[in-house]
Amino acid sequence: MIKRENEQERDKKRFSVYSAVVSAVVFLIIGRLFWMQIVQGDDYLQKAQQQQLRSITIKAPRGDILDRYGRPLVTNKTGYSLQIQKTTLSNDEFNAVILRLYDMLAEQGEKVLETLPVSQPPFAFTFGAGEPDAQKVSEQERAWKKANPLRYDETLSADEVMEKLRTRYKISADYTPEQMRRIAGVRYEMELRGFSVSTPFTIASDVSMNLVTKLKEEQADFSCVNVMSEYVRQFDQGSLAAHILGRVGIISGDEYDKYQHDGYKKTDILGKQGIEKELEKYLRGKDGISSMVQTSEGFEMQPEAGEAPVPGDYVVLTIDSGLQDAVEKALGQTIENIRSRGGDPGAKSGGDAYCGAAVVLDVNSGAVLATATWPTYDPAKFREAYASMLSDPNKPMWNRALSGTYPPGSTFKMLTSIAALEAGVITPDTVIQDKGIYRFYSDYQPACWIWNKSHTTHGNQTVTAALVNSCNYFYYEVGRLMGIDTLNEYAKKFGFGEYTGIELSGEESQGRLAGPADRQKYAGGQWRGGDTLQAAIGQSENLFTPLQLANYVATIANGGTRYKPYLVKTVRAAGNGKCVLESTPEVIEEIQIKPETLNAIKSGMLGVTENGTASSVFHNYPIKVGGKTGSAQVSRGSDNGVFVGFAPFDKPEIAVAVVVEHGNSGSDVAPIAQAAFNQYFLNNSQNSDINTGSAIGQLIH
């Protein structure tokens, strides 16, 4: 009995201990829950929300590009891009989503942003489209294999590369080769762009609203895809000044290596050509930061969180868009007219004219008022048209005004005249008789053009008359008497064979100044007396850009001051219009030219437009124009047509240079210069369509 009582007592004690322990545990749990849900509830809620939030970069809008009067050339519009976010989907599910999205984009006619240089099956590398040099194509292929993130062996074929990508991205063998290529292309680009939780991948940019709507309707199938608003470059005047404005594009590997220390990411857009590239540091702006939260319907922006982006500075160019438009239209129309009149290209009368360039400068500052290249292209459609432009024999992407080099032909005769007069080889009154065939050298006896045409001569010629008549015989004699060294001494003063220093330095050609040094550099041959005769009339190896020709004529027009041509008038902050950068005229050289020399040269140029080879275009023109035509011989096809001029004659304001490849003659291309003069002087381009009431207009003016 006593034993049973003791056992009961021990059981009670045990129960009490167990109860106490359980009570303590329950109390601790309740206390912990109270602490977490009541005391620290807000903190834990915030942490839970933060686990769903993703910090993303909000791209800053690039700065606008305006003409000299504030008229917009490049601005921004709001568009939509599709971003793929890092996801918890399995690899197979992720590949399936990519393929569905790719197919949807293709159905809607949208461009997928991927750069894998392998074609759709049968697989082949796509390097060197339009490049006839097989060695260069092979070098491009090797460079890619070496530089791409996967470091491929240089011997791998396109099929072997695709097999490696299929394995790397675990692409199911059930997919067709076409489907596999689509998935691999996107996955490769994602890896190239550093795809991660914090770095989503943009698979398509500036997509249509139809696509956005369709994607929203099928959002359940695209949980890792988000529609983002973005700023897209808008070319407000179409293809106008395309070669100067340039374009933007996604950063390349080489560019990233160069700019990553400036804060650029592998997904950034930057200037690729033209002003967009040259003024990248001003136009870029400062990106902002925002957050996205994952919901059952995908990702949603949290606009109240983060830091707002800062727009880039806006750029005001020296270009007059009205004048630019007139010159571009005249260039294209005149080339078409020359080709139509020329007929059979084999006749060498202009039937092979397709390309050309023109430049208009302010003679008193060096400001570029217009610079046109033909053919041109629409920068808004650059991606879609790239392949066709690359294979186009007329090279529409090539900036002929700055990069093209051409023999100046007879437009060089003003330079030869100035050099001879200033060196004292002749005077304005010196008379040289044109005898048709120049017989000084026994082994080289060129004839004047008029002798070749009709077996007549120009008779006695002064320097002014020789310019009007473009008498080759006169300049053969002057060139021989003066010598190549003196001729080139003055040519260099006018900037021939030298970079002008314009902002787009990476796109400018230096040109070639014919002479012993140039001959030795490029051909290793000997310079002979007959070569000097050819150089004196603008032939031999003389090759200059239209910009150099325009600056040369501007220097004559203003009396000998050679300015550095420039395109950027000012750069201003987007927010308050504060001046960030302002260009002022910069004198490169003051050439000492006697008044009597200038008078003789300018009188000859006036005679060219009133009674000479350009009189068919400028006779009875309401403004006096000084000019010179040139028909420059080239190795194949019709002669190039060249014209240079300035106006008004008595008080020059602008200078124009025009070159049309295979344009037949200078008189044939002179209408392009006339169109520039018409727009500048007669159509009052400075005041047309200028919104001076706008904030930007007020700041500029």
Q: Cα torsion for 468, 470, 471, 477, to the nearest 10°?
A: 100
Q: What is the pLDDT of residue 524?
A: 86
> How far apart (Å, rounded) are the C-alpha atoms in residues 336 and 317?
30
Q: What is the pLDDT of residue 26?
A: 60
Q: What is the pLDDT of residue 57?
A: 77
Positive or negative, the Cα torsion across 293, 299, 300, 305? positive
- For the sheet with 298-307, list strands across it: 53-58, 288-295, 298-307
Q: What is the pLDDT of residue 663?
A: 98
> How many other C-beta atoms are found inside a 10 Å radius of the C-beta of residue 624?
14
Q: What is the pLDDT of residue 300?
A: 55
Positive or negative, the Cα torsion across 205, 211, 217, 218? negative
Q: What is the pLDDT of residue 304?
A: 55
Which residues of the chain, if any, have pLDDT below 70? Answer: 1-55, 129-132, 291-305, 684-701
Q: What is the pLDDT of residue 133?
A: 76
Give the bridge partners for 225, in sequence order.
84
Q: What is the pLDDT of residue 49?
A: 43
Domains within the chain, CATH numbers bracketed: 53-313 (3.90.1310.10), 321-682 (3.40.710.10)
436 with 451: CB under 8 angstroms?
Answer: yes
DSSP for residue 679: I
Q: What is the pLDDT of residue 695?
A: 44
Q: What is the pLDDT of residue 689?
A: 42
The CA–CA distances, whole Å, from 598 to 364, 464, 558 equal 16, 10, 10
658 with 617: CB under 8 angstroms?
Answer: no
Positive or negative, the Cα torsion across 374, 375, 381, 382? negative
DSSP 158-220: HHHHHHHHHHHTT--TTS-HHHHHHHHHHHHHHHHTT-SSSS-EEEESS--HHHHHHHHHTGG
265 with 199: CB under 8 angstroms?
Answer: yes
Q: What is the pLDDT of residue 575?
A: 85
> How far apart (Å, rounded) are the C-alpha atoms in residues 426 and 328?
40
The alpha carbon of 155 is separated from its chain's Cα centroid by a whole number of angstroms, namely 35
Q: What is the pLDDT of residue 5?
A: 55
DSSP 624-661: --EEEEEEE--SSSSPEEEEEEEESSSS--EEEEEEET
Positive or negative, the Cα torsion across 514, 520, 524, 529? positive
Angle, in degrees to the nearest 10, between helices 595-610 and 546-557: 120
The alpha carbon of 350 is separated from its chain's Cα centroid by a whole number of angstroms, namely 29
Q: What is the pLDDT of residue 8?
A: 61
565 with 585: CB under 8 angstroms?
Answer: no
Q: What is the pLDDT of residue 523?
A: 86
The alpha carbon of 27 is separated from its chain's Cα centroid by a whole number of angstroms, namely 73
